A and B are shown apart, each in its own frame.
Chain A
Amino acid sequence: MAATATLDILPYAEGASWNPELVCLHDTRKELLHDIWEWICSADDTTHAEVFSLCDVAGAGKSAIAHTVARDCAQKGVLASCFFFDRNIPDRRIPQKLFSTIARDLARLSNDLTEHIVHILENDRSLASASQSRQFDELIMKPFGDRHIGRPVVIVVDALDEGCNQETLSILRNKVPNLPGTFRILVTSRLTDNIRIDLLNAGHVRHTSIDIHGSVNQRDIALYIRDRLRVISSRRQLPMDWPGERRIHDFIRKAEGLFIWVFIVSEYLVTAAYPDRKLFAILEGKNILGLPANTKMDALYAEILGACDWTDADFVHSYQLVIGTVITVKTPISSSALQSIYRDNPILDVNEVLRPLSSLLTGIFQDNQPIQIIHLSFRDFLTYRALCSPEYERFQIREGENSQRLSFLCLRILNEDLTPGIPGTGYLSGVIPHTAGIPLLHESRISEALWYACRFWNEHIIEVQGPVTEDFLDALRKFLTEKLTVWMEVLYSKYPFQTLTPLREWLQVRLHVNEGCPRADSNGFKEAISLRDGTSNADL
């Protein structure tokens, strides 16, 4: 029990593990999976650890392979740990929890290891928040450096490019070879420059790509397309042989080996009106052959988005609010939380906007499931590539504007929902005297939208650049005046400490920018936060 409690101080990225629903279609990827398995079986204590890097374009199907390898290894009892990076999730778009999560998984390999790692942690608790290199050296290298394991120790790291930094790469390059040869680390990634330079030319790194235009991939994608079309025809009650052999061949040819393209097309056809016409439009509408993977994906995204009613001003406005929020939130939220965030906008129907885009988002049909964009390339399209192309301009999402709006909405939620008397609060304001510690707060008492506002208002505000409105300052003033303590009581019942120092710095800069705004001064706000005056009643 004590050992588990000690291990618990190591940060663990929840949900970063493999998912049986995301594995490859049966009978596809046979050769590659076979090669990876051979490589895993060649693990040998007498040599050094190896990395297998699978790098290819976005949408080639790398993650499905990573999930499959993780599943197969878990079934055979050799999966030690896995970490699926994801730019949509706070813990999973940065590398800070990578090695602490892996170390915690590795500690479960045997009781001795648990004890050894606990022993190390008890001697130096600062390791829990130490740099990646120190965590790797102390929590992985030290217990494993000269340990005989006797079976492969497989670690799967997916989408390295979505969360790694230079330090991560340097560990994979320079430190991993010192681990025993039983370690086998499978890494998938898009091929970025620093991954090419820092990882692929190292002696212990085996590099492979999918070769999306190769005949093996063509065969696999054909299998996949036929499988997806069967699903669509049965769901939409289309003829068994829909859409016919000629169109199937055309579909296979035009997919050009890009699995994510096929996946999104088929998701679209499952839900869209007139699937037959939609398929025709995608295959025949525009020349999509021979384009770079990104451009090909962009064309598909534009096709799907273009089917919405862009002449309807209400839709255009709602699209910016809803999709802008989905893209900008710091952690994915459900559609009901989204609706709650826009409570002051009674006309907005979140589901009305989400429904036609269901092929590009996940989780929209379940009330309490977080909504996530389907693939990183869609985010890049909306926030970056659409801005650079007049053709796609109407789809663009400006993250800065959205963050500003979200910070204001968060403040309003905090001001409205953080009411006195929430059970479990009052411990910092002296309402409940003579208590030590922090009481447990029933999570169900706090709505998802309020939790979101509590956790992220601060992060959103400090991203705001340029002048802010007087309404915004009023909301902030109200929050700091009336709600700060209860906010702390709610947040810290569950979440880690947040410093307000960057907010105070932001306030000082912002009020300077807002110089033209008369009420900022007249209301005493400026003096209030200006600690530099050194007066004893200086305020936050």
Chain B
Amino acid sequence: MSLVRVLVGTRKGAFILESDGNRRDWRVSGPHFGGWEIYHVKGSPADPNRIYASQSSSWFGQIVQRSDDGGRSWQPVGNRFVYDGVPRTHKWYDGTPHPWEFARVWHFEPSLTDPDTVYAGVEDAALFRSTDGGQSWEELSGLRRHPSADGWQPGAGGMCLHTIIVDPSNPKRIFTAISAAGAFRSDDAGATWQPINRGLRSEAIPEPEAEVGHCVHRMAMHERSPNVLFMQKHWDVMRTDDGGDSWREISGNLPTDFGFTIDVHAHEPQTIYVVPIKSDSEHFPVDGQLRVYRSRAGGNEWEALTNGLPQRNCYVNVLRDAMAVDKLDDCGIYFGTTGGQVYASADSGDSWTPIVRDLPAVLSVEVQTLT
């Protein structure tokens, strides 16, 4: 019998939900690390008992927690994130140069093949890697040494590297995304990087089609189509079919193309999900209706999924790392809200039910499918 484990990071702790493959009855454990902000919790594809959690607070900084038993027990591991060499400057909100300062880990991306190797995307934007299970961290500083880096600027949430995708067909190819610098690709395992933002257009920056400066919120890939990436930009839902060399808009008939999260169905590379959010000044759904939109055509043609979701007086947000899918035959879709609900669909989005509610604001949702 399959087991599904949902890893939830919130403003005040981590929660772990488990169910069998029917996905009807859920056991909730937590809060783990109660009172701390848990930006992200993610398991290793190579060893699902190995889980990494980013624990932080404004008071006591960054902690990295590691579990080797599927989240039953945890050990703090290395939390020394030191930028390589002399920290350069990036552009501050007021346009002045500002030295890179480490704030927190936004996202962990464990290696597809080695449980001890994990990437960390941090604020201020940089990519770190550990090859010893999180005990020590080394910056892949080629990204931050890109000539454009001194012009990168934070978004409202800080200058965070929030998306890391390792190409399953080519481990030397890594994609990252930074708010508000844009998307980047490395073809040499992280040594050097190039911006991949051609086709993006952002009216809120002085040069709307600039090489960098775009506020990318999230990117997603299906493992069988590694050249196809989907992107939720600040405004606009985008798609590339050539590994990021060029992008085209696929917002189509969405009620608004602002949003944070995007994900791909586990078995259908052209089926994608977004949660439209009204605007960047009103971080809640349109008309108080929480709707996931699904496209089975890889974009442009979208259908609203509402069955089981609140359709009145709902003013929560769904953040960039707060959607995930399981790999069961009938693909499960999961997302968490800033109102503390985690909704799940066991039928590819046709119907939804809250599997836990009234948690602290949800920052991230990841899913492990265990057999």
The reply to whether chain A is a binding partner of chain B is no
